[in-house]
C-alpha cells in the first residue's frame, strides 16, 4: 500500500517566500552570484550580547525541557516590554512563547477557529496567513486594497465584508508585504467596527520596531479599553533583533486563550528551544542600541530603494513606512516580452528576473495581489545597487 497524503495537506500551497529563497540558494550552490531579495530576513548577524546569552545558557545547563509555554523570566520580560513601550498591562499568564511567530499564528487559528468560521484578511497579505487559516478548516475572506490608498483597508470595507460567520480580523501592521503603516484615525475607525460587530482581532505586530520617518506605530489594543480582551498580539525576535533562525515568537492574549494555546503547544511541540529563549530574554532586557542601529540602516536602504524604483520607467510603489519590503507595480510590463520571453503575470516576471538576471524576488500573486512584486531591502546597499541595476536592465530588454 502506498502512503497517501491527507486532503488538507494536498491542498496546501507551500510558502512562496521560502520557495523563492530555496531557488536562490540552489543557484548559489551551483556557484552563481545571486542577488537575493526574496525572503524577509535581516542580513545582520544576531548581536553579540544575544549570542553570548545563548552560549551562557548552554554552559549553565539550560538545555532541558522548559515549561511548554515558555520560561517565566521571558514571559515577564515580554510583559514588561508591553508595559514600557505601549502602557499595556498583561500578566505573564497571558503570554505564550512559541517556535517563531509563524507557530504563534498556528496556535491562534487552531485554538479559536471552527470549520466554516470566516477570517477577514486585507490583501496584499503575508503568504502564510490564508494557508494557515485554511489548514484550520476556516475560510479566509480577502479584502483587496489598492496602491493609491497605500494598500490600507478602510473601516467601510471591513464593515461591508462582515457576515454572521465572521470570527476574526487579521491585521498586519506594519505590513508585510507593502510596508504600509496605519495611522491613528485609520486604526480607530477599524477598532470602532471591531467593537460594534464583536470581532476578535489578530494583530500581527512583528515589525513594530521597524517604522521609519515621522509615522508613529500604534499597537492595536491601545486604542480602546475593550480591545485587549478581544485581541491577540503576535510578535517575536526574528525581525527586530535579527534572530530568524533562533525561532522565538509569542502571543499576548486573554488568559483563557493563552492557557489553551499552551495546552495545544504541550501536545504538538513542547517548549520552544531553551537556549533560544534565554537569548530572546537577553534581546528584550539588554541594550536596545542594536535595534536603533539596524533600523537606521533599513531606513537608509528604504530611501535608496524608493529612489531606484522612481527612476525605472513604468515601476511604482507606495511609501514604505515600516517593515523592510518594497511592493512594486509591474503592470506596465505585463503582456510584453522581456529578454525574449513573454511576461503575463508576476510569477513569470520573478522567475525570468531570477533566470536572466539572478535577482530573487517574490511574486505579488503569492500575497493575493497580481501585478506586483515584493523585494526585501534587508540586504546591504551594495547588493541593492547591483540588484536594481539588473532589474533596470531586465525591464529595458524588451524584445
Judged by the rule CB under 6 A, the positions of this chain that interact with ligand GLU are 15, 17-18, 39-41, 102, 126-128, 176
Nearest to 324, CA basis, from 6, 7, 39, 8: 39
176 near ligand PMP, judged by CB under 6 A: yes
Q: How large is the C-alpha radius of gyration of the chain?
A: 21
Please tell me the count of residues contacting ligand PMP according to CB under 6 A: 13
Q: Name the residue with cell 461591508.
A: 160
Q: Is the bond preceding 174 in cis, omega lying within 30 degrees of 0?
A: yes
Q: Least separation, in Å, of the C-beta of 374 and ligand GLU?
A: 8
C-alpha cell at position 109? 487559528
Q: Phi then psi for 341, rounded to 5 degrees?
A: -110, 130
Rounded to a whole number of angstroms, the minimum distance from the CB of residue 272 to ligand PMP is 10
Report whether the peptide linkage leading into residue 177 is cis, meaning its omega lies within 30 degrees of zero. yes
Give the DSSP H/E element, type plus range, for residue 382.
Answer: helix 381-396
* Contact between 100 and ligand PMP per CB under 6 A: yes
Question: Least distance (Å) from ligand GLU to the CB of residue 245?
Answer: 11
133 contact, one of ligand GLU, ligand PMP, none, CB 5-8 Å limit per kind: none
Q: Which is nearer to ligand GLU, 162 or 248 (CB)?
A: 248
Nearer to ligand PMP (CB atom), residue 241 or residue 349: 241
Compute the residue count for the chain: 399
Which sign, positive or negative, has the C-alpha torsion 99, 102, 103, 104? Answer: positive
Residue 219's binding partner among ligand PMP, ligand GLU, none (Cβ under 5 to 8 angstroms by kind) is: none
Identify the three-state secondary structure at position 9. Answer: helix
Non-local (6+) Cβ contacts of 160 within 8 A are none
Stretch that binds ligand PMP, among 81-89, 97-105, 219-227, 327-335 (CB under 6 A): 97-105
| Cα 293 to the center of its chain, rounded Å | 21
Smallest distance from ligand PMP to CB 245, Å: 9
Cβ proximity to ligand GLU: between 69 and 128 the closer is 128
Among 172, 187, 360, 391, binds ligand PMP (CB under 6 A): 172
Decide which of ligand PMP, ligand GLU, none touches 161; Cβ closer than 5 to 8 Å per partner kind.
Answer: none
Residue 244 binding ligand PMP, by CB under 6 A: yes
Is position 204 an interface residue for ligand PMP (rule: CB under 6 A)? yes
Angle at 350 between CA 349 and CA 356, to 5 degrees: 85
Interface residue with ligand PMP among 238, 271, 358, 365 (CB under 6 A) is 238
Q: Cell 505590513 sits at which residue?
A: 175
Binding site for ligand PMP (CB under 6 A): 40, 100-102, 126, 172, 176, 204, 206, 236, 238, 244, 249
Amino acid at each position: 500500500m502506498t502512503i497517501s497524503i491527507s486532503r488538507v495537506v494536498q491542498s496546501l500551497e507551500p510558502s512562496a517566500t521560502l520557495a523563492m529563497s530555496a531557488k536562490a540558494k540552489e543557484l548559489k550552490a551551483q556557484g552563481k552570484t545571486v542577488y537575493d531579495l526574496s525572503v524577509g530576513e535581516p542580513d545582520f548577524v544576531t548581536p553579540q550580547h544575544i549570542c553570548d546569552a545563548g552560549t551562557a545558557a548552554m554552559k549553565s545547563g539550560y538545555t532541558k525541557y522548559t515549561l511548554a509555554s515558555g520560561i517565566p523570566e521571558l514571559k515577564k520580560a515580554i510583559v514588561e516590554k508591553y508595559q514600557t513601550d505601549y502602557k499595556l498591562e498583561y500578566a505573564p499568564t497571558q503570554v505564550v512563547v512559541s517556535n517563531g511567530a509563524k507557530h504563534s499564528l498556528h496556535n491562534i487559528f487552531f485554538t479559536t477557529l471552527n470549520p466554516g468560521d470566516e477570517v477577514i484578511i486585507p490583501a496584499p497579505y503575508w503568504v502564510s496567513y490564508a494557508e494557515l487559516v485554511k489548514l484550520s478548516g476556516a475560510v479566509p475572506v480577502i479584502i483587496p486594497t489598492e496602491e493609491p490608498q497605500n494598500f490600507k483597508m478602510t473601516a467601510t470595507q471591513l464593515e461591508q465584508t462582515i457576515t454572521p460567520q465572521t470570527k476574526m480580523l487579521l491585521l498586519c501592521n506594519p505590513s508585510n508585504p507593502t510596508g504600509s503603516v496605519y495611522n491613528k484615525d485609520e486604526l480607530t475607525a477599524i477598532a470602532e467596527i471591531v467593537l460594534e460587530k464583536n470581532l476578535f482581532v489578530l494583530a500581527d505586530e512583528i515589525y513594530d520596531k521597524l517604522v521609519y520617518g515621522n509615522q508613529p506605530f500604534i499597537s492595536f489594543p491601545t486604542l480602546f479599553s475593550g480591545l485587549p480582551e478581544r485581541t491577540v498580539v503576535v510578535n517575536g525576535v526574528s525581525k527586530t533583533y535579527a534572530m530568524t533562525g533562533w525561532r522565538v515568537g509569542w502571543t499576548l492574549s486573554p488568559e483563557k486563550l493563552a492557557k489553551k494555546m499552551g495546552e495545544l503547544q504541550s501536545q504538538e511541540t513542547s517548549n520552544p528551544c531553551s537556549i533560544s529563549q534565554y537569548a530572546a530574554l537577553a534581546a528584550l532586557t539588554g541594550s536596545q542600541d542594536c535595534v536603533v542601529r539596524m533600523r537606521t540602516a533599513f531606513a537608509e536602504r528604504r530611501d535608496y530603494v524608493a529612489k531606484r524604483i522612481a527612476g525605472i520607467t513604468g515601476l511604482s510603489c507606495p511609501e514604505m513606512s515600516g517593515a523592510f519590503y518594497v511592493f512594486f507595480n509591474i503592470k506596465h510590463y505585463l503582456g510584453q516580452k522581456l529578454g525574449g520571453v513573454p511576461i503575463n503575470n508576476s510569477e513569470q516576471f520573478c522567475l525570468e528576473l531570477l533566470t536572466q538576471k539572478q535577482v530573487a524576488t517574490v511574486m505579488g500573486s503569492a500575497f493575493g495581489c497580481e501585478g506586483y512584486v515584493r523585494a526585501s531591502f534587508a540586504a546591504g546597499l551594495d547588493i541593492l545597487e547591483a540588484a536594481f541595476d539588473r532589474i533596470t536592465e531586465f525591464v529595458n530588454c524588451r524584445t
